[in-house]
Amino acid sequence: MSLDVLCDLPQTFHPVAFRIKRASERWEHRDAHALRRAVFCVEQGIFVGDDRDEVDEAPQLKTQVLVACTSLAGECDQVVGTVRIHQPEPGVWWGSRLAVHPSFRHVGRIGATLIRLAVCSAHAQGAHTFWAHVQQANVPLFERLHWHRLSELSLHGRPHALMRAELMQYPPCHAPDWGFLTRVVAP
């Protein structure tokens, strides 16, 4: 075999699997927050400096951070997506701050799988209702995932829709720390 053949191999790594799970490591929480800041403060300019709010800080809300990571041998390697969920009252859950790194937005259904784990894990924890304020550009994705648009509103100067998940489409996930593995299918 000629060494010239080896020189034609791609020089960049492209992950073929992503693990979507509840953040359990300190670095996963740190990197999830850094990704949120990059998307909502720098890229979209919605917040100045930081996007943390009372949902992040209030212990009574029991906020949970979910992450999508590139997966190396089944282990999380790098956070490329995140969403947070919280329960302001028994059985009522909210999802917010869904963010996917721009380089991974059209790879492996990361956003859709984060949404799926968010609702499935809340369902396992007794959710009877799951809400989200969704940026208008993302409404079609949520509708494909069995969410219903209930009203239009403006949040942070941007058009949003109040949406509710159809819980019957989301079976309870009792193991969100393991989560889901999604694979990229070659074209």
- For the chain, give every domain's residue range: 15-183
Cα atoms in the Cβ-side hemisphere of radius 13 Å centred on 180: 21
Query: Would you state the pLDDT for residue 108?
Result: 74
Q: How many CA atoms lie within 13 A of 81 on its CB side?
A: 27
pTM reported for the whole predicted model: 0.89
- Tens-level pLDDT at each residue, the chain (187 residues): 444 544 454 555 556 789 999 999 999 999 999 999 999 999 999 999 999 999 999 988 889 999 999 987 778 889 999 999 999 999 999 999 999 999 999 887 999 999 999 999 999 999 999 999 999 999 999 999 999 999 999 999 999 999 999 999 999 999 999 999 887 765 5
Other residues' Cβ atoms within 10 Å of the Cβ of residue 178? 12
Q: How far apart are CA 27 and CA 39, in angstroms?
A: 18
- How far apart CA 34 and CA 30 sit, in angstroms, is 6
Residue among 60, 91, 67 at smallest CA distance from 167: 91
Residue 16 buriedness (CB in 10 A; 0-12 / 13-18 / 19+): middle
pLDDT reported for residue 145: 98
Report the side by side order of strands in the sheet with 92-100. 147-155, 158-165, 129-135, 92-100, 75-89, 64-72, 17-22, 180-183
Name the token pair of 138: 């993302």
**Distance (Å, rounded) from C-alpha 19 to C-alpha 161?**
28
Query: What pLDDT is stored for residue 157 in this prediction?
Result: 92
**Fold type of domain 15-183:** Aminopeptidase (3.40.630)
**Dist CA 93 CA 123 (whole Å):** 9
What's the pLDDT score for residue 63?
A: 96
